[in-house]
Chains A and B, each alone.
Chain A
Amino acid sequence: MAITISASDHAAPVAPRAARLSTPQVWGIVMVVPYLLVFLAFVVYPVCYGFWLARSPSNYVALAHDPIFARAAVNTLIFLVIGINVKMLIALFLSGFFVQSRSWIKWLSVIFILPWAVPSIPTILSVRFMLNPEWGMVNQLIFKFTGEDGPNWLNDPAVALSMAIGVHIWKSLPFWTLILMTGRLAISQDLFEAADVDGASWWQKFRFITWPSMQALYLTCTLLSMIWTLGDFNSVYLLTGGGPADLTHVLSTLGIRYLRLDQLNLAMASIVCAMPLVLPLVYFMMKRLSR
C-alpha cells in the first residue's frame, strides 16, 4: 500500500500534463501563501520603494557633505568593532563561569538573564537618569564621597558613546552567554577528565579542548551580533538621543533622524551606504544557517 501511494505521489509531477500537482502540494501552496503575501507587501515592496527613493546620485553627494553622516559612520564602526568584541569575549568568559555546577550559580544565571527578559526602554531610561549630571545617582554619590562634582557623562561624545556601548552590552550579554553556554555544554566531559589525568593547566584545557570545538560557534555569534547591532536603535537613541550636537549618532539612529526631518531619500541613502557591510554578513550567515 505505502509503496503504491508514494509511487503515485512521485509520478504526479513528471506526468505528461506537467502542471498537475498532488493534493498535499496544493494545500502546501495555500498554507505558504499567507507568509508570501506578508513578505511581498511588507518586505519586497518597501525595500524596492526605498531603493527607488535613494536612486539619485545627488543624495549621496548630500550625504558626503553632511558631517553628521561621516561621524555616524565612524561611530557605527567603533560600536561594532569595540562593542561586539568586548561583549563576545566577556560572554565567552562568563559562559565558562555559568557552566560550573553550584546551586548559587544556577540562581545567579536566572537573575543574569533579566536584562534580556525585560524591555529595554525602562532600563535604558533608568541608566540615563542615573547618569544625569545634577540629580543622577552616580554624580550624587560622587559628590557625597569626594565633595566634588562628577563629570557631565552624556555631554562628552566619547563618554556618551561608550555609555551607549555599555548599555548595549548590558542588554545583550545574557543572550550570547546563554548561546555560548550551550556550546560549552556540548563538549564531551571525557576530554576534560583525560586532560586532568595528564595534568593539563586551565589555559591548556581552554586552548586545546574548549576553543577548537567552539570557534565556529563563536564566529557565527560574532557575525550575527554584528548584523543585529547595526539595527540597534534603542541603545543610542534612548540614552543620548544622538547628542550632544548629533555627535553620537550611529547609522540606525541617523536614518530615523533624516526620516523625522522629512528627508526620506537621505534616510534611505544612508542605509544603502551600509549595504556593502550588511550584505556580505547576511550572505555568510545564510550560507551557514541553510546548510
Chain B
Amino acid sequence: MKLPTLRQTTTEARLLLIGIPVFIWTMIPIYHMFVFAISPKEDAFSGKLWPDHPTLHNFEIVFRQQHYFLRDFWVQFANSTVIAASVGALTLVIATSAAFAISRLRVPGGRIVLNLALFTYFIPAAFLAVPMYRTMGNYGLLNTSWALILAMVTIASPYAIWVLKQASDKLPVELDEAAVMDGATSLQIFRLVYIPLMMPSLVAIGTYAVLLAWNEYLYAFLLLSNDHDITLPVALGNFLSADDSPWELLMTTGFIYALPPAAIYYAFRRYMVGGLTAGAVKS
C-alpha cells in the first residue's frame, strides 16, 4: 500500500471537516428523541447525553397504553395505517388511470387536465386547508376518516399524475400499436401492457402517497377530533396541551411513529430516488 501524499491527506481532511458537522446536524434531533425514548423518567430531564440506566420501559408503557395520553394508542396507530393504505391505493387507481388516459389514449382535453393537476400541485397545502375544512363540513364528512382520506388523495394525486404521465411518455408507442393489431382493447392494454411496464413508477408513487398520508399533521388535526378517530401525529400534538406532559413517553411514541415511514423509505429508496426526483424538477 502506498502512503497517501500530503495533497490527498488535506483533501480528505477537508471532506471530513464538512462531513462531521453534516452528520451531527442531521442526527441531533433524532438522537435527542432516541435518548428520551430510552431514558427513565428521572434521567429524562437531567440533560445527559446518554442515560445512566437505559431502559425499554417507556416502550412497554406505550404498547400497553398505560398512560392517560396513550389510552387509545393502538386505535390511533390503526387509524394511521388504514388511512395511509387507503390514500395509497386510491391515489394509485385515480392517478394511474388518468395518466394512462392522457398519455396513451390521448383523451381530448388531456393537456388541460394535466395542467389543472399541475396547478393543484402548486397550491400551498396549508392554504387549501382552510377552505377544505369548511368544504368537508358542508359535505358532512368532518370527523370521519373519509375526510382525511379524500383530502390527502386530492393533494397526492396531482403529483402522481404528473410523474406517471412523464414515465408513460417514455414507453414506446409501438407497444400499444402492436397490441391493437393483435386485437387488444384499451382495458387489456392497460392491464396487460401498461401496468407491468410501469411497475417501478407505480411503486414510487404508491410509496409517496402512503408516506404523505402517514406523515400529514395539519389536515389530520383540522379534519379529525375524536380520540378514537385521530391519527398518531394528532395524538402527538395533543400531548402539548398539558403543561406536565410526559416528554419521555411523547418522544417514545414519536419514535415508534417515525419508524415505519423511515423503513418504507429505505426499503423503496431505489424506486423513490429515480422515480420522484426525475419528475420533481425538470430543469
The chain A residues found within 8 Å of chain B, CB to CB, are: 1-2, 5-6, 13, 21, 23-25, 27-32, 34-36, 38-39, 41-43, 45-47, 49-50, 53, 94, 97, 100, 102, 104-105, 108, 110-115, 117-127, 129-130, 135-137, 139-141, 143-144, 170, 174, 178-179, 182-183, 216-217, 220-221, 224, 227-228, 230-234, 237-238, 241, 251-253, 255-256, 259, 264, 267-268, 271, 274, 278, 281-282, 285-286, 288-291
Docked Cα-Cα span, A110 to B23, in Å, equals: 11
Which residues on B sit within 8 Å (CB–CB) of A100?
Answer: 15
Closest to B28 in A: A130
Partner of A140 from the list B46, B105, B120 (CB cut-off 8 Å) is B46
Contacts of A241 in B (CB 8 A): 240
Q: Take A31-B105, A42-B151 as given contacts and tell me if A179 and B280 are in contact as well, using a CB distance cutoff of 8 Å.
A: yes
CA distance A165 to B113 in the complex (A): 35
- Judging by beta carbons under 8 Å apart, are A49 and B258 in contact? no
- Report whether B101 and A129 are in contact in the complex, using a CB–CB cutoff of 8 Å: no
* Interface-facing stretch out of B55-63, B64-72, B195-203, B211-219: B211-219
Q: Apart from A41-B139, A97-B19, A278-B124, what 6 extra A-B contacts exist at CB < 8 Å?
A: A102-B15, A122-B257, A259-B130, A282-B122, A288-B282, A289-B282
Identify the B interface with A (CB < 8 A). 15, 18-19, 22-23, 25-30, 32-33, 36, 45-47, 49, 93-95, 97-98, 100-102, 105-108, 110, 113-120, 122-135, 138-139, 150-151, 153-154, 157, 161-162, 177, 180-181, 185-187, 190, 214-215, 217-218, 222, 233, 236-237, 239-240, 247, 250-251, 253-255, 257-258, 261-262, 265-266, 269, 273, 277-278, 280-283
Smallest beta-carbon distance A94→chain B, Å: 7
Which one, A102, A127, A252, A267, contacts B124 given CB within 8 A? A252
Q: Are A271 and B222 in contact (CB under 8 A)?
A: no
Q: Are B107 and A125 in contact (CB under 8 A)?
A: no
- Chain B proximity of A263: nearest CB distance (Å): 11
Return the chain B residue nearest A288 by Cβ: B282
Q: Which of B108, B255, B282 contacts A122 (CB 8 A)?
A: B255
Of A27, A32, A124, A291, the contact of B102 (CB 8 Å cutoff): A32
Q: Are A119 and B233 in contact (CB under 8 A)?
A: yes
Contact B131 A126 (CB under 8 A): no
State the Cβ distance, B203 to closest chain A Cβ, in Å. Answer: 16
Cβ B222 vs Cβ A27 within 8 A: no
Known contacts A36-B113, A255-B126, A286-B119; A141/B47 CB under 8 A: yes
A2 pairs with B181, CB closer than 8 A = yes
Which A residues lie within 8 Å of B280 (CB)?
Answer: 179, 224
Contact B47 A140 (CB under 8 A): yes
Tell me, in angstroms, the Cα distance from A130 to B28 when the chains sit together: 10
The smallest beta-carbon distance between A259 and chain B, in angstroms, is 5
Task: List residues of chain B with CB within 8 A of the CB of A124.
Answer: 29
- Flag if B114 contacts A46 (CB, 8 Å): no
Tell me which of A31, A42, A141, A182 contacts B132 (CB under 8 A): A42
When C-beta atoms are compared, the residue in chain B nearest to A169 turns out to be B25
Report yes or no: A123 in contact with B29, Cβ–Cβ below 8 A.
yes
B214 to chain A, nearest CB (A): 7
Contact of B218 among A53, A108, A137, A233 (CB under 8 A): A233
Query: Closest CB-CB distance, B110 to chain A, in whole Å?
Result: 7
Which chain A residue shows the least CB distance to B20?
A: A108
Complexed CA–CA distance, A219 and B76 (Å): 41
Residues of the A chain whose Cβ atoms lie less than 8 Å from the Cβ of B132: 42, 46
Whether A121 touches B23, Cβ cut-off 8 Å, given contacts A27-B105, A35-B98, A255-B126, is: no
Q: Is there an interface contact between A112 and B26, defined as CB atoms closer than 8 Å?
A: yes
Closest chain A CB from B96 CB (angstroms): 9
Question: Chain B residues near A217 (CB, 8 Å)?
Answer: 281, 283
Asked if A123 contacts B105 (CB within 8 A), the reply is no
Q: When A31-B100, A118-B30, A170-B25 are in contact, do A39 and B116 touch as well, CB less than 8 Å?
A: yes
Are B130 and A118 touching (Cβ within 8 A)?
no
A21 to B130, CA, bound (A): 40
Contact partner of B95 (CB less than 8 A), chosen from A6, A35, A274, is A35
Please determine whether B107 and A28 come into contact, CB atoms closer than 8 angstroms. Answer: yes
Interfacial chain A residues near B15, Cβ < 8 Å: 97, 100, 102, 105
CB distance from A254 to the nearest CB of B (A): 10
B263 vs chain A, min Cβ distance (A): 9
Q: With the chains together, A49 CA to B139 CA distance in Å?
A: 13
Instruction: Tell me which residues across on chain B come within 8 A of A130, comparing CB atoms.
Output: 28-29, 32
A36 to B108, CA, bound (A): 14
Which residue on chain B has the smallest CB distance to residue A233?
A: B126
A227 CB → nearest B CB, Å: 6
Contacts of B127 in A (CB 8 A): 230-231, 251-252, 255, 271, 274, 278
Also in contact, A126 and B29, with CB within 8 A (given A43-B120, A220-B283, A286-B118):
yes
Question: With A122-B33, A140-B46, A289-B118 known to touch, is A216 a contact of B161 (CB < 8 Å)?
Answer: no
- Decide: A182 near B261, CB < 8 A? Known: A27-B186, A125-B250, A216-B283: no
